Copies of this chain bind each other. A is one copy, B any other.
Amino acid sequence: MSKHTVLPAEITSLLSAAGSRRAFLRHSAAGALAAGALAACKPDSSAMAAQLSKQDSDHSGGTNAPHPAVPALSKTDEMDRLHEAGIKAFPAKTEGMGNVLLAPRMEGDIKVYDLTAAPVQWEIEPGKRVNAWVYNGQLPGPQIRVREGDRVRINVKNNLEESTAMHFHGLEVPNDQDGVPYITQAPIKPGGSHTYEFTVPNAGSHMYHSHHNAAKQVGLGLLGAFIVEPRRPRAIEKVDVDSVMILNDGFHGYTLNGKSFPATQPIVAKLGQKVRVRFMNEGMMIHPMHLHGMHMTVIDKDGWPQPAPWKCDTLNIAPGERWDVIVNCNNPGVWAFHCHILPHAESEHGMFGMVTALIVEK
């Protein structure tokens, strides 16, 4: 590189991140291989397993130059081995899963949700544990899914070392339920609790998260999806797979639903099915999410229908935004699905961070 070359800050950051990642991967990739990483694949990704094992047989074929077996791998082969190990490990087993649907307790006609904020150790990817602050022990917090017009009560217990509060991002609740300390309520002190209650006012893909010391608290994981199903769904909303993809980029690195590749979970559909993806950005950076092989039809912004659906393959999601898209799964295969800020998705040691796949099974 020329000595005049300007290195934007993000590249510098990438290089140092790659450094620590390198050390981590030297350790973990060997372990993943030794443990037989394909065994970690979940049943619903059988199509991928089949496809990956077909790839195995291609590695020394085609028109590539032959590679004599030598005791020490070349730098290139070592790089490729790490790339392959990441792919083969996907979807890698880790402890804990977030965004699990939370069934309400019914108290009369009221749907009651109990959410406890507390610190946990969270496994972001195999062997990488981080300090997280989460609801009910999971990152993202449990998924709340209700219907427009439901009466809901949310009991928040604070087991953190500092005060907190809960904001229902996108829901047009009465002001005293808005969760902003010293504007709409007192903060919830450590050991304390607070109850929110309201009639769900508007449909769409919304979020709940801390609104106290939020750059830290949301960054550490105090967040979750709050999905409101409409009373009268539109025809375009009738889908076979309804998925949530929460983007984050804070203290835990680059994650989708609280996990980094290869520990992210694929979206799986059958050929001909329709998939809805509800993108939600809880981070501090934009993430233009790119789907391979098929386009996305954008239907909603922040839970509100767009005047007319429109198509794209790369959708820029800014912090606080939600975008809902529909994918008509008409192209079979394992399709990469990732943030197109490439240093959020790929290093010299293969894909990491904000990478998953949409698997369309024949």
- Asked if residues A334 and B183 are in contact (CB atoms below 8 Å), the reply is yes
Inter-subunit contact B182/A55 (CB<8 Å): yes
Q: Is A88 an interface residue (CB 8 A)?
A: yes
**Chain B residues whose C-beta falls within 8 Å of the C-beta of A312 in the assembled complex:** 301-302, 304, 321
Interface footprint category on A = 35 or more
The interface centre, meaning the residue of A8, A20, A319, A347 with most chain B CB atoms within 10 A of its CB, is: A8
Q: Within 8 Å of chain B (Cβ to Cβ): is A314?
A: yes
- B-chain residues with CB within 8 Å of residue A3 when the two chains form the complex: 20
Whether A21 is near chain B, meaning CB under 8 Å from some CB there, is yes
Contacts of A249 in B (CB 8 A): 8
Interface residues of A in 81-126 (CB under 8 A from B): 83-84, 87-88
**How far is the CB of A27 from the nearest CB of chain B, in Å?**
9
If A52-B182, A181-B80, A252-B5 touch, does A311 touch B304 (CB 8 Å cutoff)? yes
Please state if A319 and B302 are interface contacts (CB–CB under 8 Å): no
A253 near B: Cβ within 8 Å?
A: yes
Can you list 22 pairs linking A and B with CB atoms under 8 Å apart? A4-B128, A5-B251, A6-B21, A11-B219, A62-B185, A63-B194, A80-B187, A80-B189, A84-B182, A87-B182, A87-B183, A88-B182, A169-B290, A172-B293, A174-B333, A180-B292, A213-B347, A218-B342, A284-B342, A285-B341, A288-B318, A301-B310
